[in-house]
Amino acid sequence: MSVAAYSVGEASPRQKLLAGVLVVAYALVTMIPLVWIVLTGFKSPPASISYPPQVLFEPTLEGYVNLFTTRSRQTPEYIESLGPAETWYDALVRERNMVITGKSRFAGRYMNSVIIGFGSTFLAVFLGTLAAYAFSRFKVPLKDDLMFFILSTRMMPPVAVAIPIYLMYRELGLSDTHLGMILLYTAVNLSLSVWLLKGFVDEIPREYEEAAVVDGYTRFQAFVKVVLPQMRAGIAATAIFCLIFAWNEYAFALLLTSGTAQTAPPFIPIIIGEGGLDWPAVAAGTTLFLVPVVVFTVLLRKQLLRGITFGAVRR
């Protein structure tokens, strides 16, 4: 099923050209918002709200400095009294009559996203691999119902689920903890992980395990030594999908965390500068937050279809 399956023969060169022009036009338009946000990250605050919007501007790292620091406004005399700026970012901030007073919370929130993302991904993929193998290879009573049950947990509106989770976590002392968020994201990702991984296990011929068992392996050994190595690519793809979900999640993070375990998505929109949102800083945070996802998307492009249909559509 490669090129031959596309349509009868080939489209005429003129048709191809027209199709190409239209698709490229759409792709370029669709990229404007992203490119614009990346550019805004390198603008100064005044340049970010100038009219008309500036396409060409003098790039500055002010947005990134503001993103990672807290600052206070000082009189020029006070700044003078500090002596020359020691670092380039000190100098940058002083141009606006500001002094860096400390680190902002962004780095911490970003790290929370990393910890909770990787923690929940690991657990979801670990549990999912086991369940997927059992679902694929053994007769499980009520298999279809169980699989539907697992999928249905993902379809629930997050805000509705958050009400009882909020109460439960309050009782258990899991509110605003990394562990609480990891467990929650694991549960939400489990459905995707089981469904996707089952598809991958289904594709591995049973003959390999049978041969291993005949050779004296126990069923468990056959799973670990024969099946798992063949699932590597599938596990990697599944892990990336789980990671992206946990990374992007907002509703639970907003409602169940406030400080210690807060992830980046609820934090980025509230990066305040003087007189409202600090757009270059917000754009800088957005850029740093989105870049990993874009990289993963490009890496995953062949598996994307599978990921977004829970493994039902494979090509």
Give 91 or 168: the residue with its C-beta nearer to another protein. 168
Residue ranges in 151-190 that form contacts with another protein under rule CB under 8 A: 151-153, 155-168, 170, 183-184, 186-187, 190
Any bridge partners for residue 206, and if so which?
none
**Residue 284-313 contact track with another protein, rule CB under 8 A, x = bound:** --x--xx--xx-xxx--x--xx--xxx-xx
Output the smallest distance, CB 50 to another protein, in A: 7
Pairing of strands 98-103, 276-277: unpaired
**Residue 187-226 contact track with another protein, rule CB under 8 A, x = bound:** x--x---x-----------xx-xx--xx-xxxxxxxx---
Output the smallest distance, CB 56 to another protein, in A: 14
Question: What are the backbone dihedrals phi and psi of residue 247, each rounded to the nearest 5 degrees, phi first?
Answer: -65, -40
Any bridge partners for residue 276, and if so which?
273
**Residue 42-61 contact track with another protein, rule CB under 8 A, x = bound:** -------xxxxx--------
Distance CA 33, CA 28 (A): 10
The Cα-based distances of 178 to 64, 165, 252, 268 in angstroms read 26, 15, 13, 19
The Cα-based distances of 286 to 41, 73, 99, 103, 279 in angstroms read 8, 25, 24, 18, 10
Distance CA 160, CA 163 (A): 6
Residue ranges in 234-273 that form contacts with another protein under rule CB under 8 A: 244, 247-251, 254-255, 265-266, 268-269
Residue ranges in 90-149 that form contacts with another protein under rule CB under 8 A: 127-128, 130-131, 133-135, 137-141, 146, 148-149
Output the smallest distance, CB 93 to another protein, in A: 23
